[in-house]
């Protein structure tokens, strides 16, 4: 950690790159291996349910089958939105970006939670269950409103992934589709001190309430360099259209020093461990739907980015493609990322409240100094 005491150092870590700012028991990234509470995420994605992973994140242990059943029942009991929130959704501009609407609605949701300002562990646990259960409903309701469709009452028989698809389309999804979406949710569920989680912890460290922390996180996630990248990367692939167009699209942009969405990572410099799982899923889905050209286009982009910049695709490159091949509309991708990452946010918020210290770094002042105030009439 770069520690600045007394006189200010001129040395600093731009973007806090490689700075370890706090201890955490939630997520471990080492040598391009990603573990949640000690379990490799690839193992979890292959074997666990999303609810199991959430339980693990919040309890530091996998649930017994009874504990999992109780946890799922507690979540399902919260599969509803306040009537006022549904009315609110009906009044937001249809053309507003779903992430802007989600940010606003998470904030509104807090107004209807009588425990919103109680940060004690039992109240936080209940509030976390409510938030995690309701986020998918918000996203589905926002999407339906955008398409002039009415709210669908959620199905308490279904797990989170399946219920999200049900709330979106009004039909119980087939098991395979629900499981594929669930796998993506697991891969997106937690990722250490990424920008939005860090932002949530900064907010929690002031002892602000949980809804404020999640609003902070969702607001931070929507940026193009973070969660917003999955939508932009997919839309880029669709614009490119086919493998033979990739060079003409990417090379001039790289020459102009533009960013190609879905490539590069602050932490993984030799590839994102979540990508191989997502890529395999995309290849299977593309084969089934006759969209192999999209995979060929993505692979060509991968090859060019590696050759030109030594950069690898990140979770958002193939995460966005997976969402597209699962039939989701691209403007929803970042919201789906948000509903999944809410699991991680809430684990970090709880950890921050437990071991709190206000997060308040220092800046290295580089502005003007020692100026004399000049009265208004003399300027």
Ligand X SMILES: CC(C)(COP(=O)(O)OP(=O)(O)OC[C@H]1O[C@@H](n2cnc3c(N)ncnc32)[C@H](O)[C@@H]1OP(=O)(O)O)[C@@H](O)C(=O)NCCC(=O)NCCS
Nearer to ligand X, 128 or 231 (CB): 231
Spot the catalytic one: 32, 97, 265, 331.
265
Calculate helix-pair angle for 50-59, 121-146, nearest 10 degrees: 150
Distance CA 9, CA 331 (A): 43
In whole angstroms, how close is the CB of 182 to ligand X at the nearest point? 21
The yes or no reply on residue 262 touching ligand X (CB under 6 A) is yes
Strands 33-36 and 27-30: antiparallel
- Give whichever of 77 and 259 is closer to ligand X, judged by the CB atom: 259
Residues 6+ apart with CB under 8 A from 327: none
Q: Is 309 in the site for ligand X (CB under 6 A)?
A: yes
- Per-residue binder mask for ligand X (CB under 6 A), 210-249, x = binder: ---------------xx--x--------------------
184 touches ligand X by CB under 6 A:
no
DSSP 190-202: --TT-HHHHHHHH
Q: State the nearest-atom distance from the C-beta of 121 to ligand X, in Å.
A: 31
Q: Give the SS3 label for residue 45.
A: helix
15 binding ligand X? (CB under 6 A): yes
Binding region for ligand X (CB under 6 A) out of 102-110, 255-263, 335-343, 346-354:
255-263
Rounded to an integer, what is the distance from CA 232 to the centroid of its chain? 14
Answer yes or no whether residue 265 interacts with ligand X by CB under 6 A.
yes
Strands 27-30 and 39-40: unpaired
Residue-by-residue DSSP string for 283-326: HHHHHHHT-HHHHHHHHHHHHHHHHHH---B-HHHHHHHHHHHT
Contacts of 57 (CB under 8 A, 6+ apart): 26, 36, 37, 189, 190, 343, 344, 346, 347
- The residue among 225 and 364 lying less far from ligand X, judged by its C-beta, is 225
Please give the residues from 103 up to 162 whose contact with ligand X meets the rule CB under 6 A. none
Instruction: Check binding of 260 to ligand X (CB under 6 A).
Output: yes
For ligand X, the closer CB: 76 or 226: 226
Does residue 314 bind ligand X (CB under 6 A)?
A: yes
Q: Is 266 in the site for ligand X (CB under 6 A)?
A: yes
Query: Catalytic residue at 316?
Result: yes
How far apart CA 127 and CA 350 sit, in angstroms, is 11
265 catalytic? Reply is: yes
Is 273 a binder of ligand X (CB under 6 A)? no
Binding site for ligand X (CB under 6 A): 15, 225-226, 229, 259-266, 309, 311, 314-316
Residues forming the active site: 265, 316
């Amino acid at each position: 950690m770069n520690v600045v005491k007394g006189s200010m150092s001129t040395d600093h870590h731009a973007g806090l790159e490689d700075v370890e700012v706090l201890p955490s028991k939630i997520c471990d990234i080492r040598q391009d291996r990603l573990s949640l509470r000690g379990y490799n995420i690839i193992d979890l994605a292959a074997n666990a349910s999303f609810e199991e992973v959430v339980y693990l994140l919040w309890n530091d242990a996998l649930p017994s089958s009874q504990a999992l059943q109780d946890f799922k029942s507690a979540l399902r009991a919260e599969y509803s939105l306040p009537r006022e929130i549904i009315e609110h959704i009906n009044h937001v501009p249809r053309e507003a970006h779903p992430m802007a609407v989600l940010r606003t609605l998470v904030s509104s949701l807090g107004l209807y939670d009588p425990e919103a300002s109680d940060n004690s562990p039992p109240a936080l646990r209940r509030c976390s269950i409510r938030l995690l259960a309701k986020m998918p409903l918000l996203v589905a309701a926002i999407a339906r409103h955008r398409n002039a469709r009415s709210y669908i009452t959620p199905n308490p028989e279904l797990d989170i992934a399946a219920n999200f698809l049900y709330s979106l389309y009004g039909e119980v999804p087939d098991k395979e589709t629900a499981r594929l979406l669930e796998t993506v949710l697991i891969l997106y569920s937690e990722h250490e001190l990424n920008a939005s989680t860090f932002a949530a912890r900064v907010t929690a460290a002031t002892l602000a309430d949980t809804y404020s922390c999640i609003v902070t996180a969702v607001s931070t996630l929507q940026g193009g360099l973070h969660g917003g990248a999955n939508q932009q990367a997919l839309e880029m692939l669709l614009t490119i259209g086919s493998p033979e167009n990739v060079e003409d699209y990417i090379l001039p942009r790289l020459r102009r020093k533009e960013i190609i969405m879905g490539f590069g990572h602050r932490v993984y410099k030799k590839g994102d461990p979540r990508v191989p799982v997502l890529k395999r899923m995309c290849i299977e889905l593309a084969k089934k739907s006759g969209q192999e050209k999209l995979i060929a286009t993505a692979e060509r982009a991968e090859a060019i980015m590696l050759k030109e910049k030594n950069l690898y695709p990140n979770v958002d490159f193939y995460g966005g493609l997976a969402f597209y091949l699962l039939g989701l509309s691209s403007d929803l991708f970042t919201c789906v990322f948000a509903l999944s990452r809410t699991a991680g946010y809430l684990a970090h918020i709880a950890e921050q409240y437990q071991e709190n210290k206000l997060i308040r770094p220092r800046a290295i002042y580089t502005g003007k100094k020692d100026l004399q105030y000049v009265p208004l009439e003399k300027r």
